[in-house]
Structure 1
Amino acid sequence: MGLSQRHRRIAPLALLGVVGIALAGCGAPGAPSGGDESGGGGDTVTIYGTIVDSEAELLQESWKDWADENGITIKYEGSQDFETQLGTRAQGGNPPDIAIFPQPGLFADFASRDFLKPAPEEVEKNANEYWTEDWVNYGTVDGTFYGAPLMANVKGWIWYSPAKFAEWGVEIPTTLDEMSTLTQTIQSKIGGPAWCVGFESGTATGWPGTDWIEDYVLREAGPDVYDQWVAHEVPFTDPQIKAAFDAVGATILDPANVNAGFGEVRSINSTAFGDVAPALAEGACALTHQASFLSGFFPEGTTIAEDGDVWAFMLPGKTADDKAVTGAGEIVGAFSDSEATQKVLAYLSSPEWANSRVSLGGVTSANNGLDPDNAQDPILQETIKILQDEDTTFRFDASDLMPGAVGAGSFWKGMVDWVNGTATDDVLKQIETGWPSS
């Protein structure tokens, strides 16, 4: 499954060739996708990525007509072992023409080692015209632009039942303080916990907790502190990071608040992150926090709409005017500067490709040339509008930007220990020890 729809998370690497892969929000690993037989001859361009199974089929369908028209055969290979294999192939002199990177940190690692070619002029032009400065920066390494973004998603959605909100006489909050008041009001109405929360995800258990913390660091401490935290200029033990833990803990560590439909606070670690969707749809809980891909986990027949069975609003900020969000996506980098490769890169950075892929369903893009109406899912349409809003402050998922030993290691483990009752200060010290010494 692709990153955008099912939040496929892969641990960033500190060094090429280091083995380390983690999945979150995915089902059982699928077989790597075969090549796309677009075109009837001429030039061939190979693309390697983490997108597999049905999403890989949609990816290949998205460029097939264009490739046929341009006489280019695009052969795509998707792998669950992307990082290890890409590092091995690059070092062995046998890389693909193009790679779709699931994290900017990994992308920057390859660029800084001179494996990637600077992006063609047309790609840079498209990026500057159709993407915000935040996104362009993720494709820029040491002042050189190497690649444009591809797909994107937004996290921090709070899912709820519109009918229940109407029954309880409550409204969507516009600030974090109002969010806390909403929790208390709902609990007074139902006489029990309002929230259901799930951190379980196999070997990646704990990752949903990192998303909670990232959302609160960005909203409470601001984007500059968020960036400093990612760069380790602000450690986990900093009071500003502890404040985010305290704010999240006030919701998910309070037995009065969780875990509706599943048990006590510690049941968070044994509750699969996707299982909160049917619990919400069935009315077992009133609120849950998860990215837009949660829409794929609701029971068949669930209407996801503002007046439907379930809907979602973005976790608010400190004030009603705050528009800071976290999310994820992919960056496209090239190991080849062949003419055919440059044509493919230009197409993938264009609104034409974005509209083609999004119209097939299941994903979003931050390309501002994308028509939101092409998204079939109303939450995805809302996601696109947020991504395209010039006033939106976007920050990439922090744990995906941190070294793998932290972002997919001590951070995940720390969230599990925290839920199990380990004191916040001890958890913060434990997570901090995951940072590489150099």
Structure 2
Amino acid sequence: MTITKSARLRNRLLVAPAVLGLALTAACSNSSSGTSSGTAAPVLSGDCAKYQAYSGHAGTKVTMFASILSPESDSLEKSWAEFSSCTGIKISYEGSNDFEAQLPVRVAGGNVPDFAIIPQPGLLAQMVKTGKVVKPPAQTVQNESQWNPVWKSYGSVNGTFYAAPMSANMKSLVWYSPKAFKQAGYQVPQSWADLMALSDTIAKAGGSKPWCGGISSGTATGWPATDWLEEVVLGSAGGDVYDQWVSHKIKFGDAQITGAMQTVANWMQNPAWVNAGIGDVKSIATTTFQDAGAPILTNKCWMLQQASFYEAQWPKGTNIAADGDIYAFALPAVNPAISKPVEGGGEFLAAFSNRPEVQAVQNYLSTADWASSRVKVATGWVSANQGVDKSLYTDPIDQLSAAALTSPATTFRFDASDLMPAAVGAGEEWKALTAWFAEGKSIPQVAGDIDAAWPQ
């Protein structure tokens, strides 16, 4: 079973499958409804006119399966409610916290959904190998011009495009307290050297340590440490080396990767710098990622490296703003020559049918119009679609993330452990990096253990 970071981090309530989609209303059409059987498509009017390109399939239904649960799935369904009402295409959505295990079972057993929202390129490749995933229609392909080309590559298998990206998240953030920084006279670091110098200044000032962290996450313990390594590899060696590392053309034992591990050790295994308000270096292995940032609010810790989705972990009422209790800044590149490195994740829409109504939905969900609709109804959801009006984002962390994810200057790469074979990225790497923190194993030993686990 392949478990992705995106799926395992959703702290959601499991709900029964929901069906969304209303009949085409007279208010949205000035002629009789069409069907996918060849009759003329209705001419849509009023608020529905913008969906004209997707009309002609009233009375049909498509099914969608994903790992997204309530309350996030509630806003997902709201995002296409008007489309469904105007076109008459019902979208029957089902979310499962066992999605990664169940999707292959369903596909193999013939219980195939029309769509799957897949949060890992590796799982997409696995599904493509079954021969059940169909190539997207021409309009969906054309819509991909709104995305950085690297995103299209993550929705492709062996160079063939299959799945349009939907959501995006930014991992490369540092959480801190603007109020505490201002009171102490500290400035947000603009470079890695500045970040390390600030860490040293805070440590020497005494009273509290610069960093707190936690990599405990149940059966997924170790994943935050993989992020730290991924961010340092990308920010020190660049995208090409990162890509070769993901495919194991460059091994963990390579000097570029062990050098990145040493940079992580100098940062997050420095006993003078961690683990503020919690314990020593070893305590990072037993502290849950959810609890890791709490010492910032009690002035025991200054910074936490975590993703944009960590925003949900701050207590209700926390003022998250540039001048508030909590905010975040982009983790700087280790190597100043690397332009704005961002490690992140996302989700991709794969289709298992090419029926006309399925293609209509597929085309719509690959547009900036749909992404904008999703942004309007969901705080904490970001798209890397460059056609989305950034003024639609009302949450400050969403604004920060969207700006970074859509910037042409950004060097974006998908979460490496979600791209690597499951035996490595969701297996031995988690285990070995946890032992690195908990037991103090050497870098060569840790790198060797991970390389040995790579499938032949």
TM over 0.5: yes
Instruction: Please report how far the alpha carbon of residue 282 of structure 1 lies from its aligned counterpart in structure 2 after TM superposition.
Output: 2.3
Read off the aligned partner of 2:325 and give its amino acid letter: D
Query: Match of 1:393?
Result: 411
Instruction: Please report how far the alpha carbon of residue 232 of structure 1 lies from its aligned counterpart in structure 2 after TM superposition.
Output: 0.7
Answer yes or no: is the 8 Å Cα contact 1:22–1:203 preserved in 2.
no
Answer yes or no: is the 8 Å Cα contact 2:2–2:101 preserved in 1.
no
Contiguous gaps of at least 5 residues in structure 1: 1-8, 13-20
Answer yes or no: is the 8 Å Cα contact 1:168–1:189 preserved in 2.
no
Read off the aligned partner of 1:432 and give its amino acid letter: D
Measure the CA separation in 1 of the matches of 2:298 and 2:407: 33
- 1:32-55 CA-to-partner distances (Å, cap 9, x unmatched) read 541223123700000011111211
Measure the CA separation in 1 of the matches of 2:359 and 2:90: 13
Answer yes or no: is the 8 Å Cα contact 2:20–2:77 preserved in 1.
no
Query: Match of 1:3?
Result: none
Instruction: Please report how far the alpha carbon of residue 24 of structure 1 lies from its aligned counterpart in structure 2 after TM superposition.
Output: 4.0
Answer yes or no: is the 8 Å Cα contact 2:2–2:123 preserved in 1.
no
Read off the aligned partner of 2:173 and give its amino acid letter: W
- SS of 2:427's partner is helix
Aligned length: 419
Q: Structure 2 residue aligned with 1:51, among 68, 75, 100?
A: 68
Instruction: Please report how far the alpha carbon of residue 161 of structure 1 lies from its aligned counterpart in structure 2 after TM superposition.
Output: 1.2
TM-score (norm 1): 0.92
Query: Match of 1:31?
Result: 14
Measure the CA separation in 2 of the matches of 1:37 and 1:177: 51
Matched, 1:227 2:210: no
Q: Structure 2 residue aligned with 1:292, among 297, 300, 308?
A: 308
Instruction: Please report how far the alpha carbon of residue 220 of structure 1 lies from its aligned counterpart in structure 2 after TM superposition.
Output: 0.6
Answer yes or no: is the 8 Å Cα contact 2:208–2:299 preserved in 1.
no
Matched, 1:372 2:390: yes
Read off the aligned partner of 1:384 and give its amino acid letter: A
| CA gap 1:179/1:170 in 2 versus in 1, 3 angstroms | same
| CA gap 1:26/1:244 in 2 versus in 1, 3 angstroms | same
| CA gap 1:414/1:321 in 2 versus in 1, 3 angstroms | closer
Measure the CA separation in 1 of the matches of 2:432 and 2:142: 42
Cα RMSD (Å): 1.8
Query: Match of 1:116?
Result: 133
Query: Match of 1:126?
Result: 143
- SS of 2:344's partner is strand
Pairing 1:27-176 to 2, within 5 Å after superposition: 27=11, 30-40=13-23, 42-128=59-145, 130-176=146-192
Query: Match of 1:274?
Result: 290
Answer yes or no: is the 8 Å Cα contact 1:24–1:205 preserved in 2.
no
| CA gap 1:261/1:312 in 2 versus in 1, 3 angstroms | same
Q: Structure 1 residue aligned with 2:431, among 374, 393, 413?
A: 413
Answer yes or no: is the 8 Å Cα contact 1:33–1:53 preserved in 2.
no
Read off the aligned partner of 1:371 and give its amino acid letter: D
Q: Structure 2 residue aligned with 1:325, among 339, 342, 358?
A: 342
Tell me the percent identity: 43
Read off the aligned partner of 1:68 and give its amino acid letter: S
Contiguous gaps of at least 5 residues in structure 2: 24-57
Measure the CA separation in 1 of the matches of 2:111 and 2:62: 13
Larger Rg: 2
Answer yes or no: is the 8 Å Cα contact 2:371–2:383 preserved in 1.
yes
| CA gap 1:150/1:23 in 2 versus in 1, 3 angstroms | closer
